[in-house]
Structure 1
Amino acid sequence: MTATLIPPVHAAADKPAHRDSNVLRWLGAYTASMVGDNVYYLALSWAAVQAGTPSQAGLVMAVSAVPRALLMLGGGVVADRFGPRRVVIGSDAVRCAAVLAVAALLFAASPGLWLLALLAVLFGTVDAVFMPAVGALPARVTGRDQLARVQGMRGLAVRFANVVGAPLGGLGVALGGAAAAFGLAGLLIAVSVPLLISVRMRDLPTDGEGGLPSDGEGDLPTDGQGDGKASGAADREADGKASGAADREADGKAGAAADREADRKAGGEAGPRSMGAAPDTAAPRATPWQDLRDGLRYIRGHRVLAPLLVAIALGDLGFVGPLNVGLTLLAEQRGWGASGMGWVLSGFGTGAGVAALLLTVRGRLPHAGRLAAVAILAGSVAIGALAYAPSLAAAVGTALLVGLLAGLSGALCGALLQTQADPAYLGRVSSVAGIVSLGFAPLSMPLSAAAIGWWGTGPVFVTSAAVCGLGGVVVLCSGPLRRAQLPR
C-alpha cells in the first residue's frame, strides 16, 4: 500500500469549531443565506397574494417543491463530482441574481403571477443542487471531531434565520413593497458569496488505488479519517485504508462497483495523488448515472447510514404533519387563536434552540446512537400528548419539550450522518436525506389535515407520534447504529 501524499492530522490539532475563523466564515455565509431565504419566501408569498387569488398564491408557493424533489438526487451527484464549495457558491450566485432581477422588474412594472411562478421554479431547481452541497460542506471545513459541534452551530443559525427573517421581510414589504423585500433577500444572499470564497477547504484523503476524489479547492490538510471511527467506519480504519474503494469493500460492496469507483477517481479528477503513483489517463470517468447508482449502493450497504436514513425518514413523516397543519387546526379547535399558536410555536423553537446550543457547547454527547433513540421515543410521546394538553400553558410546555427532544435527536442524527459518511459521498447521502425531508414529509401535511377532519386531532397526533417513534425503534434494532459514537 502506498503512502498518502498528505499526512493525517490528529483531532487535537483542530481548533474548536466555535473558535475557528474558517468555520465561522462558513457559518456567517450559511446564516446570511438562510436569512435571505426566509425574507425571499415572505416576499414571494406577499407578492403572489397581491397578484392573484389565495389559491393561485398557494400554487406559486408550492411549485418550487416539484423540481427540488425531482432533482435532489442529481444535485447530490453534482456536489460530489464538482466539490461542495463550488456548487454552493454557484448556487448562491444564481439565486442572488434571480431574486435581484425579479426585484428590478417589480420596481419597473407589475409582470404578474407568471414571473413569480418562474422564480419559484428556478429557486426550487437551484435548491436541488444547493441543499446537498450544503450538507456535504461541513466535513470539508473542519475535523471529524468537530462535526457534531458544527451541526449544533448550524441548528442555531437556522433558528436565528427563522426568528430574524420574517421581521426583516415584513420591514422590506412595509418600506417598499414586494420589490424592496426581494431586493433585501438578494442582498442577504449576496453577502454569503464572498464569505464562501474565503473559506478554506480540506482535501479528501487519497492513495494510488482509487482514492477519494478532491475538488482541488483545499489548502488545509486532511483529517485523515483516523480520529476513532465508530462501527462500520472503525472496520475500515482497522484495515488502514483511506480509499473509497476500500471503504466499500469493508462494507461488503460488490467488486464491480469498487472497480468503477477506482477507475473514476483515477481518471482525471483534480486532487493530490500518492507519491510515485501516476494517474491512469486511459481509464474512463464514470458517468453521472453511474455515480448516482454507486452512491445509492454505498448507502444501502452501509451498516449505520442505511438504518439512520430510515429513522430520519420516519421521524420527519411523523413530525411534519402535526407540527404544521395539525397545530393550526388544534389551536382553532381549542380557541387559542393565532396568538396562542404563536406561543406554542415559540415553545417549540426555544426547545430546539436549546438542543442546538447544547451540542454547540458540548461538541460531543456520549452514546450518540442510544441517546438519539431515546430522544426520538420520548419526543414521539410528547407529540402525542400535545393534542391532549388541557390548557394553552400546558401546550406551550409540551411544545418546549417536543422542540428540545426533536432538536436533540435531529442534531444527533445529523452529526452521525456527517461523521459516518465517507466525505466523497456526503453530497449523495445528503440528497437522500433531503428527498425524505423536503419531498416525502410535506406530503403528510394534506393527509394530516384530511385525517383530522375525519377523526379529530387526538387520534391523528397519536398516529403521527407512533410513526415518529418507529424511527427510535429502528435505531434500537440496528446494532451498529445503536452503538454508534461521535468522534472524540
Structure 2
Amino acid sequence: MTLSGAAPGVAYRDGNVLRWTAAYTASVGGDVVFFLALSWAATRMAGPAQVGAVLAVGAIPRALLMLVGGVIADRYGPRRVVIGSDLTRCLIVFGAAALMQFATTRLSMLFAVALVFGVIDALFMPAVGALAGRLTEPGQLGRVQGLRMLAVRLSNAIGPMIAASVLTVAGVAAGFGLAGLLFSLSVGLLLAVRLNRTQPGVRSTGSSFADLKDGLQHLRRNRHLSRLVVVVGLGDMCFSGPVGIGLVLLTAERHWAAAVLGWTLSAFSIGGAAAGILLTALTRVRRAGVVLLCSLLATAVLVGALGQITTAGVLIAGSAVLGTTSGVASGLGNALIQRKTDPRYLGRVSSVTSLSTVGLGPLLYPVTGVVAAVWGTGVFFAGCALVCLLAAVLAATKTVRGSEL
C-alpha cells in the first residue's frame, strides 16, 4: 500500500524528508546510547570480558536474519516495518530500564535484551534503507543519502558524550531510559512521514522464501546493480565498527591519552558530517561513478596511512579527512544503488548491503583484536586499505565507472 503525500521537492526543503531525517537521527542516537548503556551494564556486572559476549549475542541474529528483514520490508512496506520495529525497540529498552531500576538484575537479562534487540534490528535496518529510497523523486536520492550520512555521523559524535554524562550522573537505568525516549521520538516523527506517491509499492503474493529468491535473482540479473552492491559493501565494511576499534587499539599502542582517542573519533564523525552536507548541497554529482572511484581510492590510501602515523595531531587531522572521503563514497554508492533498484526490491537490496556492513562488521571485532595483537595495528589498517582498494578496483569497471546520479 502506498501512502499519498505532498509532491516531492528539493530534499533539504521537503518537510517529509526532513521529518524522516530527524526521526533517523533520533533512532541512531538511541542506538548509540543503548549500546553504551548495555556495555556499561555488562562491565559493571561481570567485567570487560563479558562485554564482547553480550554484544555478539545481539550481532549474530542481526546478521543471520537481515535478508529476512528485507523480504518483510518489501512485503509489508518499509514505512510500516520501520515504525513497528522502532516502536518495539522502544518498548524493549524501556522494559530494560524498568528492570534495572526496580528488579535484581543479572547478566542473563542483558543477554536476553541484546538478543531480542538484535532480532528487531534485523527488521529495522533493511526497512529504513528502503524507506530512504521511497521518500522523494530519484533525482533527490543523492541529497537524501547526504542527509542520512549527516544524521549518522552527528549522532555518533554527540551521542556518546550525552550517554556518558547520563550514565555517570544517573546510572544504567537512566541510560536505557534515554535510549527509549530517543526511540519514542523517532516513532512519533515517523508517523508523520509519507511515501512518494510516484513510486508505487507492489505487495508480493508468493511465499517469503520465493520473495527472497526473487530478490537475489533480481540482483543477479542486474549486473550494474549487483556490482554496485559489492562495491558499497566492501567500501563500508571496515567503517561499520572495525576501524573504530582499530583506532582505540592504535591510541593504546602509541600510549596516547584518552583525549586523543576522543578527538580522533570525533574528527572522523565531523568529516563524515561534512561529506553529508556536501552531498546534500550539490544540485548534481557529475560523473558520479568516477567520483565514487576516486573517493574509494583516497579512502584506501588514507586508512592505510592511518596505521603508520606516530603524531597525535596528524592522526586527528587524518581521521577527519578519512571521515570525509569514506562518507562521500558511502553516500554516493548508496544513492546509486537506490537509483538503480526497482522500488519493489528496495527492502531486499537494502538487506544485502546492510548485511555486508552493519550485519557482518561487528562480527569482525574479534579479527581486529587478533590482527592487532599478533602483527600490530599497522597491519590491521593495511588490511582495511586492501579491502577499500578492492572496492575501488570493482568501481573502476565500466559498468560502475559510468554511473550517473
Give the Cα separation in 2 of the matches to 1:402 and 1:43: 28
* Map of 2:354 onto structure 1: 434
Give the Cα separation in 2 of the matches to 1:87 and 1:315: 27
Q: More helix by proportion, 1 or 2?
A: 2
Is 1:213 aligned with 2:213?
A: no
Is the 2:56–2:363 Cα contact (8 Å) retained in structure 1? no
Give the Cα separation in 1 of the matches to 2:112 and 2:156: 25
* Map of 2:19 onto structure 1: 25
- TM-score normalised by structure 2 residue count: 0.93
Work out which of the residue numbers 345, 363, 380 in structure 2 matches 1:425.
345
What is the percentage of aligned positions where both structures have the same residue?
A: 45
* Map of 1:481 onto structure 2: 400
Alignment of structure 1 residues 62-461 onto 2, 5 Å: 62-203=56-197, 213=202, 264=204, 285-319=205-239, 323-461=243-381
* Alpha-carbon distance change, 319 to 36 in structure 1, aligned in 2, over 3 angstroms: closer
Of structures 1 and 2, the one scoring higher in RCO (CA 8 A, sep 6+) is 2
Matched residue type, 2:404 = Q
* Map of 1:43 onto structure 2: 37
List per-residue Cα deviations over 1:173-205 (Å, max 9, x = no partner). 234311111112112111122221111223465
Root mean square deviation of aligned Cα? 2.0
Kindly state the Cα deviation for residue 50 of structure 1 after the two structures are TM-superposed: 2.0
* Alpha-carbon distance change, 325 to 36 in structure 1, aligned in 2, over 3 angstroms: closer
- TM-score normalised by structure 1 residue count: 0.78
Kindly state the Cα deviation for residue 341 of structure 1 after the two structures are TM-superposed: 2.0
Give the Cα separation in 1 of the matches to 2:167 and 2:248: 25
* Map of 1:4 onto structure 2: none
Give the Cα separation in 2 of the matches to 1:386 and 1:35: 27
Matched residue type, 1:200 = R
Matched residue type, 1:167 = M
Give the Cα separation in 1 of the matches to 2:169 and 2:372: 40
Give the Cα separation in 2 of the matches to 1:99 and 1:454: 38
List per-residue Cα deviations over 1:6-31 (Å, max 9, x = no partner). xxx9xxx6311111111111112111
Give the Cα separation in 2 of the matches to 1:179 and 1:318: 32
Kindly state the Cα deviation for residue 317 of structure 1 after the two structures are TM-superposed: 4.1
Give the Cα separation in 2 of the matches to 1:444 and 1:466: 15
Uncovered stretches (5+) of structure 2, i.e. residues with no partner: 1-5
Give the Cα separation in 2 of the matches to 1:57 and 1:453: 19
Give the Cα separation in 1 of the matches to 2:30 and 2:365: 25
Aligned length: 401
Kindly state the Cα deviation for residue 53 of structure 1 after the two structures are TM-superposed: 2.5
Kindly state the Cα deviation for residue 80 of structure 1 after the two structures are TM-superposed: 0.2
List per-residue Cα deviations over 1:194-240 (Å, max 9, x = no partner). 2211112234656xxxxx516xxxxxxxxxxxxxxxxxxxxxxxxxx
Kindly state the Cα deviation for residue 290 of structure 1 after the two structures are TM-superposed: 0.3
* Alpha-carbon distance change, 122 to 347 in structure 1, aligned in 2, over 3 angstroms: same
* Alpha-carbon distance change, 109 to 426 in structure 1, aligned in 2, over 3 angstroms: same
Is 1:471 aligned with 2:391?
A: yes
Work out which of the residue numbers 48, 51, 54 in structure 2 matches 1:60.
54
Matched residue type, 2:144 = V
Give the Cα separation in 2 of the matches to 1:427 and 1:322: 25
Kindly state the Cα deviation for residue 322 of structure 1 after the two structures are TM-superposed: 6.0
Give the Cα separation in 2 of the matches to 1:351 and 1:425: 32
Of residues 132-141 and 27-36 in structure 1, the stretch that sits farther from structure 2 once superposed is 27-36
Kindly state the Cα deviation for residue 70 of structure 1 after the two structures are TM-superposed: 0.6
Give the Cα separation in 2 of the matches to 1:54 and 1:334: 21
Choose 1 or 2 for highest CA Rg: 1
Of residues 88-97 and 186-195 in structure 1, the stretch that sits farther from structure 2 once superposed is 186-195
Is the 2:292–2:329 Cα contact (8 Å) retained in structure 1? yes
Is the 1:88–1:134 Cα contact (8 Å) retained in structure 2? yes
